[in-house]
């Protein structure tokens, strides 16, 4: 609020939210794990090679995996709604 002088864009005003909510980030353990596995299958010799590998891994993500990520996000959002925004176990 101090940084933006109380000018916050959002529905219903300002709502505190954890900077990194583990309940809503399936990309961290589903998609990024896949990309990291491909990018680091062998140690990249250069930073340029690592960048190319990451780009190639992103381009080769199968549509079924993206569908699973979307389904997982929807499921987690629903669990968060049921828990009334509180922490929940899966």
Tell whether pTM > 0.95: no
Look at residue 39 in the predicted model and tell me its pLDDT.
92
pLDDT tens, residue by residue, 44-87? 999 999 999 999 999 999 999 889 888 888 888 888 888 887 77
Spatial neighbors of 40 by CB under 8 A, at least 6 apart, are: 53
Buried b (16+ CB within 10 A) or exposed e, 1-15: eeeeeeeeeeeeeee
pLDDT tens, residue by residue, 13-47? 666 655 555 555 667 667 888 889 999 999 999 99
């Amino acid at each position: 609020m101090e940084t933006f002088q109380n000018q916050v864009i959002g529905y219903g005003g300002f709502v505190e939210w954890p900077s990194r909510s583990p309940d809503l980030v399936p990309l961290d353990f589903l998609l990024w794990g896949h990309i990291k596995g491909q990018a680091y299958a062998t140690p990249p010799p250069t930073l340029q090679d690592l960048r190319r590998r990451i780009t190639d891994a992103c381009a080769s993500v199968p549509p079924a995996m993206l569908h699973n990520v979307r389904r997982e996000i929807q499921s987690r959002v629903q669990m968060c709604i049921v828990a009334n925004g509180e922490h929940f176990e899966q």
